Each structure stands twice: as C-alpha cells, then as structure tokens.
C-alpha cells in the first residue's frame, strides 16, 4: 500500500489530481473482511465455487472496493478527516493478486471557519486498466467538523 502523501489543504483547488494509491488484495484479506462483515457468500473464500460461477478466483467484496477508496483518501488527506459522503459502483470484479490503483480528482472545494470541504471523483482500476469501481466522496478537513 502507498504511504501517506498528505498535501496542504489550503493548496488544494478544483482540478487537483490525487497521487495514485495502490493495493494488492490477498486471499487472507478477503477471508478476514468476510469474517468481520459477516459475509458468508462462498464466492469470496471458495476458489472452486468462484470458478463454477465463471470467475478465475475468489472475488474482492463489493464493500472492500469502497474501503479501498476510503483508505486512499485517508492516505492522501490524513487521518484527521471526516467523510460526509462516500459512494461507488462496482463495475468489474477484482481477485487476489490484482494490483488495484485508486486515482481521484478534486471537483469542488469549499472553505469556511477553518474547514476545507472537498468533493472528489474517484476511480479504482486493475492492472489492465479496467475500471473496477468509480466513486465520489465529500470529505472535510480542519475546523470542528461537526
């Protein structure tokens, strides 16, 4: 995973492109994510079952794609961050060993009372360039973040 790359929030303007953030999911990560989310669907832990369904391996869970988008934002903007909105669509599957790259572009910025509110378009692609999960986030840094 990519390390923290926090910029100065005051320097972020619409059109700012986030540095790419990468992750390579593992079988163990998928198993653990299923355990903590009580997701018992076999397609996430049983390779033979996933193959019967037509996939090359077990699949990254839908919500784990969202977690990767959120983790990329935290790596970029720091842990002192409040999510007002996070949405995504799963458009293509990912499997353990895929290198997933999250990218994003700031599309709107609001500043008031020491807070910085950023609207960010996100995209998660696999190593072949296939879009796995487009998304959007509204996040707040600084201030009281009520």
Instruction: Read off the pLDDT of residues 128-143 as tens digits, 9 standing for 90 and up.
Output: 999 999 999 999 998 6
CB 2 within 8 A of CB 22: yes
Q: What is the DSSP letter of 42?
A: G
Task: List strands edge to edge, sheet with 100-112.
Answer: 21-23, 100-112, 115-125, 131-141, 81-88
What is d(CA 42, CA 57) in angstroms, rounded to the nearest whole number?
Answer: 11
- The string of pLDDT tens digits covering residues 19-76 is 999 999 999 999 999 999 999 999 999 999 999 999 999 999 999 999 999 999 999 9
Please report the pLDDT score of residue 79 as a whole number.
86
pLDDT number for residue 7: 76
- Report pLDDT for 4: 53
Per domain, the residue ranges of the chain are 11-141
What predicted TM-score, i.e. pTM, was given to this entire model?
Answer: 0.91
Q: What are phi and psi of 86, to 5 degrees?
A: -150, 120
Tell me the C-alpha distance between 140 and 146, whole Å: 10
Sheet strands (E) in the chain:
21-23, 81-88, 100-112, 115-125, 131-141
CATH topology of domain 11-141: Thiol Ester Dehydrase; Chain A (3.10.129)
pLDDT at 85: 97
> What is the mean pLDDT of the segment spanning 84-113?
96
């Amino acid at each position: 995973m990519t390390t923290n790359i926090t910029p100065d929030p005051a320097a972020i303007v619409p059109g700012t492109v986030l540095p790419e953030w990468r992750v390579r999911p593992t079988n163990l990560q998928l198993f653990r994510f299923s355990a903590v989310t009580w997701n018992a669907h076999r397609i996430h832990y049983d390779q033979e079952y996933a193959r019967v369904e037509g996939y090359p391996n077990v699949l990254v869970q839908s919500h784990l794609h969202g977690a990767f988008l959120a983790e990329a934002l935290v790596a970029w903007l720091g842990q002192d961050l409040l999510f007002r909105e996070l949405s995504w669509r799963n458009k293509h599957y990912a499997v353990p060993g895929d290198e997933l790259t999250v990218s994003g572009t700031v599309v709107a910025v609001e500043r008031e009372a020491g807070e910085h509110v950023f609207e960010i378009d996100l995209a998660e692609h696999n190593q072949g360039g296939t879009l796995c999960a487009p998304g959007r986030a509204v996040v707040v840094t600084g201030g009281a973040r009520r």
